[in-house]
Amino acid sequence: MASKIGILTGGGDCPGLNAVIRAVVRKAINEGYEVVGIKNGWKGLIEKDTMALTLDSISGILPKGGTILGTSRTNPYKKEGAVQKVVTHYKSLGLDALVAVGGEDTLGVATKLVAEKINVVGVPKTIDNDLSATDYTFGFDTAINIATECIDRLHTTAESHHRIIVAEVMGRHAGWIALEAGIAGGADVILIPEIPIDIDEVCGLIKKRHSRGKTFSIVVVAEGAQFKKSSHVLQEQKLDEFGHVRLGGIGELLAREIEKQTGYETRVSVLGHIQRGGSPSAFDRVLGTRFGVKAVELVLQKKFGRMVALSGGTIIDVPLEAATGKLKTVDTEYYELAKVFFG
Ligand code: F6P
């Protein structure tokens, strides 16, 4: 009987997931393995909800966004008896290894499952790019390209109507999307979670810009940014199974404050899930492909409890804990570079 690799995708969907699935299936089949797709992240392993992954099932998925396996934010460690079900189903499916594709939550579960003797290999994904131990996660490049295009489009209305437009982007507690899309889109102010917002300073920058003849400004704010002396703006108080709050709404508050202090007409645009949708960029397809092939190589070498990562152009492997131990946030030096273009 052929050896079997299982693969699951967990957490928020992300452009490039299908490139990883395709690469894992192609490489594994070339090496004589069978591949089982586990549906909807850890939920699928708890419920034993699977699909066979063959050359046919992965044909044509490379340019597609999202994940053909489906996803969920299910945490087996938050459900009575679920970890045991994961272990039992892993065994009864006859899996020799499991490739877990996800962000800090999915990989956090994968890290714990090593102790349950599950031969897990991790693949880092997230549009937020906030995972330590990898230079980039796939999905981020697509997200910043979409956000940049949106910022370009927002310029049109801002300029024609002489308005301030605040663009709220995702990124959770890291400012990577705001920073890089902001730089690429020529934002006049960029606000990130790592640096509390000084509203007087923001309004001062906008006024300074207007005093040199400009009649519009674009402000990019990360959903996780917060005003000095206040806590995160939340869409709802409820925590998900991984203890996360739903961020969102800072753009609206900021826009109101800017309009009040500057007197300039101010509007807000929340980009939301548009940033995660649609076809992956070439960069994300290639990175996902390289990660997928490397993940199977780790299985062949029996290097379990490891995660694939990008380091200076090379695909390497690192301990799974290295990915989730610490959030990768924007450093001050990089933010200083962005500030050159403020106001
Ligand atoms: O982690 C990816 C991400 O898109 C974050 O940027 C955002 O805060 C969160 O997921 C949104 O989650 P959901 O899709 O569950 O609303």
Q: What is the pLDDT of residues 268-313, one digit of tens each?
A: 999 999 999 999 999 999 999 999 999 999 999 999 999 999 999 9
Residue 322 near residue 307, CB atoms below 8 Å: yes
Mean pLDDT over residues 208-232, rounded?
93
Q: Catalytic site residue 128? A: yes
Give the number of the atom of ligand 1 that is nearest the alpha carbon of residue 177: 6
Residue 39 in this model has a pLDDT that exceeds 80: yes
Residue 177 near residue 222, CB atoms below 8 Å: yes
Output the residue whose Cα is nearest ligand 1's atom 15: 12
The predicted structure's pLDDT at residue 326: 87
| Ligand 1 proximity of 172 Cβ (cutoff 6 Å) | yes
Please indicate whether residue 235 or residue 215 has the higher confidence score (pLDDT).
Answer: 215
- Of 44, 62, 46, 57, nearest to 7 by C-alpha is 44
Give the number of the atom of ligand 1 that is nearest the alpha carbon of residue 170: 6
**Could you tell me the end-to-end alpha-carbon distance of the chain, in angstroms, rounded to an integer?**
65
Residue 230 in this model has a pLDDT that exceeds 80: no
Quickly count: other Cβ atoms within 10 Å of residue 48's Cβ: 15
Task: Please give the C-alpha separations between residue 125 and each of 13, 139, 292, 303, in angstroms, as whole numbers.
Answer: 9, 7, 11, 20
Quickly count: other Cβ atoms within 10 Å of residue 127's Cβ: 31
The predicted structure's pLDDT at residue 1: 72
Contacts of residue 245, defined as CB under 8 A and 6 or more positions apart, other chains included, come to 232, 234, 236, 237, 238, 239
What are 171's two structure tokens? 């990124």
Query: Ligand 1 pocket: which of 172, 234, 242, 270 to mutate (most atoms <8 Å of CB)?
Result: 172
Mean pLDDT (the chain) is 96
The predicted structure's pLDDT at residue 243: 87
| Spatial separation of the C-alpha atoms in residues 51 and 95, rounded to whole Å | 13
Specify the domain boundaries for CATH 3.40.50.450 within the chain.
Answer: 4-138+280-324
> What torsion, rounded to 10 degrees, do the Cα atoms 179, 272, 23, 92 define?
130
Percent with pLDDT over 90 in the chain: 92
Specify the domain boundaries for CATH 3.40.50.460 within the chain.
Answer: 140-276
The predicted structure's pLDDT at residue 207: 97
Supply the CATH classification number for the domain 140-276: 3.40.50.460
Instruction: Find the 61 Cα to ligand 1 centroid distance in Å.
Output: 23
| Ligand 1 proximity of 12 Cβ (cutoff 6 Å) | yes
Mean pLDDT over residues 155-164, rounded?
98
CATH fold, domain 4-138+280-324, is Rossmann fold (3.40.50)
Mean pLDDT over residues 228-243, rounded?
81
What is the radius of gyration, based on Cα positions, of the chain? 22
Residue 323 in this model has a pLDDT that exceeds 90: no
Residue 121 in this model has a pLDDT that exceeds 90: yes
pTM: 0.96
Residue 178 in this model has a pLDDT that exceeds 90: yes
The predicted structure's pLDDT at residue 233: 77
Angle at the Cα of 130 from the Cα atoms of 287 and 70, rounded to 5 degrees: 60
| Spatial separation of the C-alpha atoms in residues 58 and 28, rounded to whole Å | 13
Q: Which amino acid is at 41?
A: G
Output the residue whose Cα is nearest ligand 1's atom 14: 12
Residue 16 in this model has a pLDDT that exceeds 80: yes
